Structure 1
Amino acid sequence: MKIGYARVSSENQNLARQIEALKKSGVEKIFPEKVSGKSVQNRPELKKMLEFIREKDIVTVLDLDRLGRNAQDITDTINLIQQKEATLDVLSLPSFTDIQDVNLRGLLTNLVFEIYKYTAEEERNKIHARQNQGIQLAKERGEYKGRRRQYSPHGSKRYLYKRVVQMLRDGTNIAQIARSTGVQRRQIYRIKEYALKVGDLGTPKREVNS
């Protein structure tokens, strides 16, 4: 069976391009993921896929980096796939399926994977180094303001921020807000602290017990 795995790092990103490519390659079942987890345990759809696959299945991804955030993550995931005696097909990399010799095909495939992981890791390290240099330069110039707050009047999650603030104004308790919005309690306390600081909250009503 040909099984696909697609992943983006956040809810705001779109899986459509990956899913379309997987379907065109003949994938029969797709596990779509919208999360930036550091391990298999933090990526529920990847975990489901690894539990689902069987011997001789083909796991297909558009790019190798969909399997992990760094070279070690990718290696660990590939090992888990191989432990199930399934094979990995990466659409953006050369395919050696026409080679009849199984050992040679496996050798060439693993070689390509290792080269890709090395170059991807090097590129990631260079990007981080440039980012750190830019931040340091901005700090020296007094221009660095840090990461923009997501839960704020103008942040990427401003609608959730406004909803949480309104519920706090109404006296709704933290547990009920968490259940209604899906926002973690710890984050709600941070929103509350920030809203009080910037004057969005004022003095909240007394919380109503649930």
Structure 2
Amino acid sequence: MTKVGYARVSTREQNLDRQIDALNREHVSRIFAEKRSGKNTERPELHKMLDYIHDDDEVVVVALDRLGRSAADLTHIINTITQKGATLDILNLPSFKDVQDKNLRVMLTNLTMEIYKYIAQEEREAINERQAEGIAAARARGAYVGKKPQYVPDSPDRHNRYIYEQAVKMLTEPKPRPKTQIARTLGISRTTLYKISSSLT
């Protein structure tokens, strides 16, 4: 059996050290880590981890929301782990490792995960609802100006300016590569690349 860790934070400004330290305390053999939003389906390290695991491996994450944010996304990922013959250990959820009956242990683990998936989904929907209400109120006051694009030529973040410049360079080549390939190369979503592309016209 191999213990495999997965760590994720949502933005480049956030730090992975706390999660990685927690995974190392669990004596994982390999850690897949990335800085990607949980809403982003293009998470290369997650997909590498899912390709890497085999029968009897154990996937360890600090919290369930590190795997995904929506119930549907979490269900898909957990089912993939199960289909590969591996198990999942969520460090901030109750552990049933001391339960001797394997079937009972699996049932209790699955029940706990379903409850927490539901809670995570409810929290995400509540956050989205509060954001929508805040935007509506700001628009009513004439104070809403929208979210400033992250990848723009005058971004205060040097890395974001570099990504923008590289995207423009690749998009304006005589024979540009497919946008999906460009987005994957730069580590950004296709939606972000399409926004950069539309700003050039």
Cα RMSD (Å): 3.2
Residue 14 of structure 1 pairs with residue 3 of structure 2 = no
Q: Secondary structure, in 3 states, of the residue corresponding to 1:175? A: coil
Is the 1:149–1:155 contact (alpha carbons within 8 Å) kept by the matching residues of 2? Answer: no
What residue is the counterpart of 2:172 in the other structure? 174
Q: Which of 1 and 2 has higher RCO (CA within 8 Å, sep 6+)?
A: 2
Is the 1:6–1:15 contact (alpha carbons within 8 Å) kept by the matching residues of 2? Answer: yes
Cα distance in 1, alignment partners of residues 144 and 158 from structure 2: 22
Is the 1:5–1:59 contact (alpha carbons within 8 Å) kept by the matching residues of 2? Answer: yes
TM-score, normalised relative to structure 2: 0.79
Is the 2:22–2:62 contact (alpha carbons within 8 Å) kept by the matching residues of 1? Answer: yes
For residue 94 of structure 1, what is the amino acid of its counterpart?
A: P
Q: Gapped runs of 5+ residues in structure 1?
A: 194-210
Trace 1:195-210 onto structure 2 (pairs within 5 A): none
What residue is the counterpart of 1:201 in the other structure? none
What residue is the counterpart of 1:145 in the other structure? 145
Is the 2:153–2:165 contact (alpha carbons within 8 Å) kept by the matching residues of 1? Answer: no
What residue is the counterpart of 2:25 in the other structure? 24
Cα distance in 2, alignment partners of residues 20 and 106 from structure 1: 27
Aligned residues: 187
What residue is the counterpart of 2:54 in the other structure? 54
Cα distance in 1, alignment partners of residues 103 and 75 from structure 2: 19
Is the 1:164–1:188 contact (alpha carbons within 8 Å) kept by the matching residues of 2? Answer: no
For residue 50 of structure 2, what is the amino acid of its counterpart?
A: L
Write the deviation string for residues 10-58 of structure 1: whole angstroms up to 9, x where unpaired.
Answer: 3332211111110011111111122236576x22211111111111111
Write the deviation string for residues 88-122 of structure 1: whole angstroms up to 9, x where unpaired.
Answer: 00001111101111011111111110110101111
Is the 1:174–1:188 contact (alpha carbons within 8 Å) kept by the matching residues of 2? Answer: no
Trace 1:60-209 onto structure 2 (pairs within 5 A): 60-150=60-150, 151-156=152-157, 160=161, 164=165, 174-175=172-173, 182=186, 186=194, 189-190=197-198, 192=200
Write the deviation string for residues 145-181 of structure 1: whole angstroms up to 9, x where unpaired.
Answer: 100122253554576169839x99xxx99339x99x9
Is the 1:175–1:185 contact (alpha carbons within 8 Å) kept by the matching residues of 2? Answer: no
Q: Percent identity?
A: 48
Cα distance in 2, alignment partners of residues 126 and 5 from structure 1: 26
For residue 172 of structure 2, what is the amino acid of its counterpart?
A: I
Closer/same/farther in 2, CA of residues 189 and 23 from structure 1, 3 Å limit = same
Is the 1:11–1:34 contact (alpha carbons within 8 Å) kept by the matching residues of 2? Answer: yes
Is the 1:64–1:90 contact (alpha carbons within 8 Å) kept by the matching residues of 2? Answer: yes
Is the 2:60–2:90 contact (alpha carbons within 8 Å) kept by the matching residues of 1? Answer: yes
What residue is the counterpart of 2:3 in the other structure? 2
Is the 1:50–1:80 contact (alpha carbons within 8 Å) kept by the matching residues of 2? Answer: yes
TM-score, normalised relative to structure 1: 0.76
Is the 1:32–1:45 contact (alpha carbons within 8 Å) kept by the matching residues of 2? Answer: yes
